[in-house]
Chain A
Amino acid sequence: MTRALTLAALMASCTLSTASGAQVARTGFDTAQVRTFTVAALLRSARTEVEISRLATSNPTVAAMVDRLVSRLDRPAVSALPLQVVAEAQQRTGANRQAGFGRIARWQRKPEVPGLGDGDAAALDTLTRLMPAELRTALEGTRAVSDDSVDRILAPLDALNFARRNISIGQSLEKLNRFERKYGPDAPQLNGVEVGLNYVAQWIPLFLPNSEGWPSRFEIVGAYVPAYLTMVDSKARAVTVAEVGLRSYIWRAGWGGKEGGVLRPGYLSFGVAVAGAQDGAFVSPLQGESRIGAFLGWGEAKVAFLGGDRKRVLVTRQFQAIPWVF
């Protein structure tokens, strides 16, 4: 009887108190709770799990670990933080939850969430991993606790995971958005040489998606362009240029495709431009004493500058006249 009353009181304390104060207890999970729960509710959940499952007796090591973590986090600066804010801060990166040196350095300079230092973030992370695994197992081992009760006790954790998953869905869609910018219908097509070069580039980290699956913004440009245009003595003249460089995709919203138009393209390109000694279409860039310069592309529009005796300023547009060739 005493235990049942304790259970009821603990459950009430962990589900009713939120950032906005008292809240009507609900059966099951309510997505509206995502924005109202605070870290304090999460800490109460953990304490409730430990109390009800009598973990101190059955598994004192884990109970002590939880106690240590809760004690560390149970300060006004941390416990008052809304779970939504915690979810928005990416506490963990990469595989095996190892944060990179750069990230740790940033944490030390300026915490990602005011009040939540790197140690606190790690403590919260460990606690939220213990709660659904070791603590829940212990809780469910207690016959007095029904599934509904477990769900009510863990509602703050569900709220945190719901918020995290929502953010993660947004990130996945943004990654797909970027892949589409790089490979979709509005992206420039690669010629045969570029397909080969970019295949080989997959062994260079700069050109690979990172471990979280964000695509690299770069790809290699290696093209034979016979249709650059220049003006000599007020007459238009074709110039053939070999381009070697990089294309860099612009991920910003509103750029690229029809929405971005000419002014806000989806990519820019730059690199070395090489032309033969003579102007003209379909001239070998290695003919005679080659002229070397640079090219810069702003979306489809490209300009190039050639040095040497016959300096030239050239313009053209990104296109492929013959698929796979140029």
Chain B
Amino acid sequence: MTFELQKDIKWPAKRAVLLVHGIGNAAPGDYTLLLAEVKKMLGDEAEKTAIYQLWYDQVNDWFAAKTQLGSLINKAKEAISGKVGDPELGPTVAESIGDVLWPVLSVDARSAAREAYLAQVKQMVQDGVASGVPARRQKLSIICHSLGCFHTYEALHHMAKFPSHSLQPATHEVVWDNVIFMASPVQMIRTVADLMGPLVPNKRWLYAVQGDKLSIPSETTVTGTVVPSVRNWVSITGDLDPVGGHVFKKLIPWAYMKVDGQVSIVDDQHALNISTKAELVQRLKASARERERPDIGPSSPHCWDDYVKRNVVKLHDWCSA
């Protein structure tokens, strides 16, 4: 068994955050910069927060190797990347499309990634209970990015529906204080899956296409009370990030995730990594001081670290409330 859970973490207090990465080949040890940004964002609260990271790329790798479609998808990615033409944006769009293929077109890939997610969440809750914090007292947050948003959406709905995972909001008292989606492609996947119609197998268990619109998962109690799984459902995207439903500062309704009860934030993004005169002066000074070329260049609108940096105050308030 090569899938390993992050486990037996002694919770320092009642808080835990799960970071769910998005596209690309991420493995334990990656995203150290992101982790540093998240700790910086939490400030003093970081010491009181158990931080978990979910790695599920090996599941995608199994399917690529088994079907030998990996090279085919890579070629498609290269072609798409070239078509987009933008050195930062092209690979991002291409990676998204490639990685989205597995969970949409392969039921087994979808189920395996979801199971990996659920296993990690169960372990996280269990670690909290073992640290003396019953589920009802746990302050749980998820910060997910890109394709991680899709897996989060699917996993949250599944855990609310199926009692066998012992993660329901009413029966098992597992309620998420915050679920923060950054550059979510969930609506885009819903639209694409709808367009593909009968080509998408087993839509019954693809929650992103269920119902009239996307929704916050919930459980109905014995007496009919509806208990939502999430207290604070947040969508943060950038106005230059196509994965999050924006192209050239314009919202694309068919690709932008909108859920009733959602807190929506759209970051003002810039094509360059400098947005103010003060920043420019600061970088030029730093360049002169360190005798290196000035750090001026294109910025990736899809970068996870930057989403955290831009929203540090709000994230801190939510995750430490």
Closest residue to B199 on the A side, CB-wise? Answer: A199
Mark out the residues of chain A between 248 and 281 whose CB falls within 8 Å of any chain B CB in the assembled complex. none
Given known contacts A95-B162, A173-B3, A209-B108, is B134 in contact with A151 (CB within 8 Å)?
yes
With a cutoff of 8 Å between Cβ atoms, the chain B residues found around residue A136 in the complex are 136, 173
**A-B pairs with beta carbons under 8 Å apart, 23 shown:** A28-B134, A29-B133, A29-B134, A97-B163, A130-B222, A161-B166, A162-B126, A162-B129, A165-B167, A169-B123, A172-B115, A172-B118, A179-B112, A183-B65, A183-B108, A185-B65, A189-B68, A195-B69, A199-B201, A202-B106, A203-B202, A211-B162, A323-B68
- A187 proximal to B (CB < 8 A): yes
Number of A-B contacts (CB under 8 A): 169
The answer to whether A158 and B135 have CB atoms under 8 Å apart is yes
Partner of A133, one of B5, B112, B134, B171: B171
B129 to chain A, nearest CB (A): 5
The answer to whether A176 and B135 have CB atoms under 8 Å apart is no
Partner of A165, one of B69, B136, B166: B166
Type the 1/0 row for B213-225, where 1 means its CB is closer than 8 Å to any CB of A: 0000000011101
CA distance A172 to B115 in the complex (A): 6
- A108 proximal to B (CB < 8 A): no
The answer to whether B171 and A132 have CB atoms under 8 Å apart is yes
Given known contacts A28-B132, A189-B66, is B202 in contact with A202 (CB within 8 Å)?
yes
With a cutoff of 8 Å between Cβ atoms, the chain B residues found around residue A175 in the complex are 111-112, 115
With a cutoff of 8 Å between Cβ atoms, the chain A residues found around residue B107 in the complex are 202, 208-209
Type the 1/0 row for B87-111, where 1 means its CB is closer than 8 Å to any CB of A: 0000000000000000001111001
- B164 proximal to A (CB < 8 A): yes
Best-buried of A175, A179, A185 by chain B (most CB within 10 Å): A179
A175 to chain B, nearest CB (A): 5
The answer to whether A209 and B171 have CB atoms under 8 Å apart is no
CA distance A17 to B62 in the complex (A): 50
- A287 proximal to B (CB < 8 A): no
Type the 1/0 row for A193-210, where 1 means its CB is closer than 8 Å to any CB of B: 001000100110000110
B165 to chain A, nearest CB (A): 5
Count of interface residues, chain B, beta-carbon cutoff 8 Å: 54
- B318 proximal to A (CB < 8 A): no
Given known contacts A29-B132, A132-B172, A168-B165, is B111 in contact with A183 (CB within 8 Å)?
no
The answer to whether B201 and A168 have CB atoms under 8 Å apart is no
The answer to whether B114 and A324 have CB atoms under 8 Å apart is no
- B31 proximal to A (CB < 8 A): no
The answer to whether B126 and A177 have CB atoms under 8 Å apart is no
CA distance A40 to B69 in the complex (A): 56
Partner of B129, one of A31, A209, A211, A215: A31
- B23 proximal to A (CB < 8 A): no
Closest residue to A96 on the B side, CB-wise? Answer: B161
CA distance A32 to B227 in the complex (A): 30
- A166 proximal to B (CB < 8 A): yes
CA distance A180 to B4 in the complex (A): 12
Partner of A182, one of B108, B161, B202, B227: B108
The answer to whether B135 and A134 have CB atoms under 8 Å apart is no
